[in-house]
């Protein structure tokens, strides 16, 4: 054991930071400690003497194991926020707080005041929680390393000064800059668990800021209520500077700029709805007239909060050319009517009309003039969809054998939602395998408005091989046997699949035969035949910590084979479940070419079938087609009887009966 923690520096930083040395070969140090450099990269001669004797107080990290490496037990991680949500919850809070003019006070309370801290949750759910110290050491190292690596251009090393574990949370203290950097690690994956990090301010300041924020929100709700027309589904945001409610709040103070108040209005308005569907049904039109807008960038948040708006009025602003609309270039894909009356750009609409129509594929009214009919819009949308999918989508192929596949699918939908234990007992055995994987990056159409709910109930079992690089995790997340599978299924949220008989259009089910499956009886050395069933569809689930049901899309791949003696007659060899955010299934091509019509006479049809049967017997026995036809003719063209007759008389056949004159 090392008597003191090794110095923090390039050696302990992330790979991006480690790789930025000065390019020369460094001489190996004999004392086992890495060289320390200052902010400019110069060698600190007395670094060990000045830092080694200063352990981090309260952290409980006085000693480190010699075998410790620069990688966390959680393995490679990635941000989970994604680029789609441009306005984070923290940014929303800051916008609202800033309206009251108290933003400086709020920030000051985090730097001074009664000891700002960060609260980190999620450690108890990680694999590191099994460590002797509860995983605290691994967590703190992970936070320092990942936070340091966020900015590869900086030589600054993030350090945690103090830490303490209270219940399920870890509280840490660092410099204001380091705390701001560590906050960016919110939602990172650590040892199989998602970390939740939030700032804790001094109690008094936090309560004061919270009360101020609540008051501002109440006032903004009143402004929005006065400007909303439920009958027209219209939100009137015109001439905000003249609004008496906003002026009484002191929002402008002589300024004519709406860029400060508009984001706050949109955030408060967004909080009034529980889902994107509710927003789409409540607001279809927005008026932004007389706001002095030179670019729509000043109100870009409207596209993020309400992307499904159909009608927008931008009359009497200062929009000069097409670039003034670039902030909405790939937004509002459902817009049907755009009004630009009273803007300098109006004089250019004759030449810009085609480009505007390209930006908004469903637009059919521009400045109250029809630019294309709804039928033309439908053709345009269909053409765009066809361009994204140049090949027609064929319907599913279901090549069942003896009704085995159909019976299994029926039982699956009947039992998985209601009695998973019974379903396991009927089709799974000690050799069955199950795994699930979450595809968080599955592409979705811009038309899809169903939000993607959190995956927290599934992530600890996810075996996405593109994300999980550790061999142990890959092996441990493939579950084998009824007991292990049942234990996993018991932790998954309850589900409800659409009814197969009344809502069959929500599924695509395929079935085909597969050879070479293991023969558990040991009689077939080359394996036995089975079935592969693939189900694409959707289901609803409701996790305990989710207020509303989640709609998800899935693909489930089953491989079925003959059961072992004493087990189920048909067993599941493999069961792989893939989950992704909900999206509607693509519909098969509606027009399929008609099947070719036979031009053969009935006599020719009989002859064709007989030739096919004779060919099968030849392939099976090695006899010539002539002798195969003779054998079949004597047995009534029954292939099984013909093969039995061949077996009984095989030794008496002349050489000319065999293909090439060589008996098999």
Q: Per residue in 357-412, pLDDT tens?
A: 888 888 888 888 888 888 888 887 777 666 665 555 566 788 888 888 888 998 89
DSSP one-letter code for 462: B
In percent, how much of the chain has pLDDT > 90? Answer: 16
Q: Are strands 508-517 and 495-496 parallel, antiparallel or unpaired?
A: unpaired
Q: What is the mean pLDDT of residues 84-96?
A: 56
Lowest pLDDT segment from 26-30, 235-239, 246-250: 26-30
pLDDT score of 249 more than 80: no
What does the pLDDT read at residue 55? 43
Is 90 exceeded by the pLDDT of residue 424?
yes
pLDDT in tens, 565-586: 888 889 999 999 999 998 888 7
> What local confidence, expressed as pLDDT, does residue 70 receive?
39
Please give the torsion angle defined by the CA atoms of residues 384, 387, 390 and 395, in that order, rounded to the nearest 10 degrees.
-10
Tokens of 584: 């509607």
Per-residue confidence (pLDDT) for residue 601, from 0 to 100: 64
Determine the Cα–Cα distance for residues 289 and 312; give it in Å rounded to an integer.
9
**Where residue 91 falls among pLDDT bands split at 50, 70, 90?**
low
Of residues 335 and 252, which shows the higher confidence score? 335
Q: Is 128 exposed, middle or buried (0-12, 13-18, 19+ CB in 10 A)?
A: buried
| Cβ atoms of 615 and 588 closer than 8 Å | no
Local confidence band at 420 (pLDDT 50, 70, 90 cut-offs): very high
Query: Which tokens sit at 141?
Result: 């190292």
pLDDT mean across residues, the chain: 76
Q: Does domain 404-581 have CATH number 3.10.450.50?
A: yes
The model's pLDDT over 45-76, given as tens digits with 9 standing for 90+, comes to: 444 444 444 444 444 444 333 333 333 333 43
The b/e string for 544-566 (b: 16+ C-beta within 10 A; e otherwise) is eeeeeebbbbbbbebbbbbbbee
Tokens of 546: 């989710």
Q: Does 154 have pLDDT greater than 80?
A: no
Give domain 602-661's CATH architecture: Orthogonal Bundle (1.10)
Helix (H, G, I), strand (E, B) or coil at 327: helix
pLDDT in tens, 514-555: 988 888 887 877 888 999 999 999 999 877 666 567 889 999
The residue among 140 and 616 whose pLDDT is bigger is 140
Spans of all domains in the chain: 10-205, 227-388, 404-581, 602-661
| Residue 66 confidence (pLDDT) | 36
Query: How far is it, in rounded angstroms, from Cα 577 to Cα 561?
Result: 18
What is the band of 44 on the pLDDT scale with cuts at 50, 70, 90?
A: very low
Contact 291, 238 (CB under 8 A): yes
Greater pLDDT, 8 or 248: 248
For the chain, give the percent of residues with pLDDT over 70.
Answer: 73
Domain 227-388 CATH superfamily: Ribonuclease Inhibitor (3.80.10.10)
Which CATH number does 10-205 carry? 3.30.70.330
Whether the predicted pLDDT of 14 surpasses 50 = no
């Amino acid at each position: 054991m090392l008597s003191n923690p090794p110095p923090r520096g390039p050696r302990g930083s992330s790979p991006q930071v480690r790789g930025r040395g000065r390019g020369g070969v460094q001489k190996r140090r004999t004392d086992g400690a890495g060289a320390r450099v200052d902010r400019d990269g110069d060698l600190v001669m007395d670094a060990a003497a000045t830092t080694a004797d200063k352990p981090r107080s309260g952290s409980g990290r006085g000693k480190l194991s010699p075998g410790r490496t620069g990688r966390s037990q959680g393995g490679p991680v990635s941000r989970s926020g994604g680029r789609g949500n441009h306005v984070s919850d923290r940014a929303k809070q800051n916008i609202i707080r800033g309206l009251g003019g108290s933003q400086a006070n709020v920030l000051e309370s985090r730097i001074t005041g009664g000891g700002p801290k960060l609260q980190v949750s999620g450690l108890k759910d990680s694999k590191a929680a099994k460590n002797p110290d509860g995983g605290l050491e691994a967590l703190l190292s992970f936070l320092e390393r990942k936070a340091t690596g966020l900015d590869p251009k900086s030589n600054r090393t993030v350090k945690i000064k103090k830490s303490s574990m209270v219940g399920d949370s870890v509280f840490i203290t660092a410099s204001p800059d380091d705390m701001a950097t560590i906050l960016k690690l919110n939602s990172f994956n650590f040892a199989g668990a998602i970390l939740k990090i939030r700032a804790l301010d001094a109690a008094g300041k936090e309560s004061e800021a919270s009360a101020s924020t609540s008051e501002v929100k109440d006032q903004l709700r009143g402004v929005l209520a006065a400007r909303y027309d439920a009958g027209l589904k219209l939100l009137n945001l015109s001439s905000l500077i003249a609004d008496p409610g906003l002026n009484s709040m002191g929002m402008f103070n002589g300024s004519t700029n709406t860029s400060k108040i508009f984001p706050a209005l949109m955030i408060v308005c967004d909080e009034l709805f529980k889902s994107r569907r509710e927003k789409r049904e409540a607001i279809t039109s927005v008026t932004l007239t007389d706001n002095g807008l030179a670019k729509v960038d000043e109100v870009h948040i409207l596209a993020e909060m309400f992307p499904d708006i159909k009608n927008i009025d931008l009359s009497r602003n200062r929009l000069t050319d097409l670039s003034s609309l670039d902030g909405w270039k790939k937004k509002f894909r459902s817009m049907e009517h755009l009004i630009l009356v009273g803007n300098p750009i109006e004089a250019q609409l004759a030449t810009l009309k085609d480009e505007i129509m390209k930006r908004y594929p469903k637009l059919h009214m521009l400045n109250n003039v029809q630019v294309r009919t709804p039928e033309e819009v439908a053709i345009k949308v269909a053409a765009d969809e066809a361009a994204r999918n140049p090949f027609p989508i064929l319907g599913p192929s279901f090549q069942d054998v003896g009704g085995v596949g159909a019976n299994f699918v029926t039982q699956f939908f009947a039992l998985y939602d209601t009695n998973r234990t019974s379903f396991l007992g009927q089709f799974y055995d000690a050799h069955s395998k199950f795994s699930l994987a979450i595809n968080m990056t599955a592409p979705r159409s811009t038309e899809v408005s169903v939000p993607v709910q959190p995956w927290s109930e599934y992530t600890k079992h996810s075996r996405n091989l593109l994300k999980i690089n550790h061999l142990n995790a890959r092996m441990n997340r493939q579950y084998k046997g009824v007991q292990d599978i049942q234990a996993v299924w018991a932790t998954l949220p309850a589900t409800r699949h659409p009814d197969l008989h009344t809502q069959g259009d929500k599924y695509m089910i395929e079935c085909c035969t597969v050879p070479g499956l293991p023969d558990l009886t040991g009689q077939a050395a080359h394996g036995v035949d089975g079935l592969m069933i693939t189900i694409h569809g959707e289901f609803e689930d409701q996790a305990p910590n989710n207020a509303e049901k989640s709609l998800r899309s899935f693909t489930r791949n089953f491989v079925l084979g003959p059961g072992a003696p004493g087990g189920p007659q048909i067993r599941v060899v493999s069961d792989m479940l893939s989950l992704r955010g909900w999206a509607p299934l693509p519909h098969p091509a509606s027009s399929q070419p008609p099947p070719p019509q036979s031009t053969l006479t009935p006599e020719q049809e009989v002859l064709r079938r007989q030739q096919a049967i004779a060919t099968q017997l030849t392939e099976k026995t090695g006899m010539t087609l002539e002798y195969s036809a003779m054998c079949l003719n004597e047995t009534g063209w029954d292939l099984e009887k013909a093969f039995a007759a061949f077996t009984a008389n095989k030794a008496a056949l002349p050489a000319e009966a065999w293909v090439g004159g060589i008996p098999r």
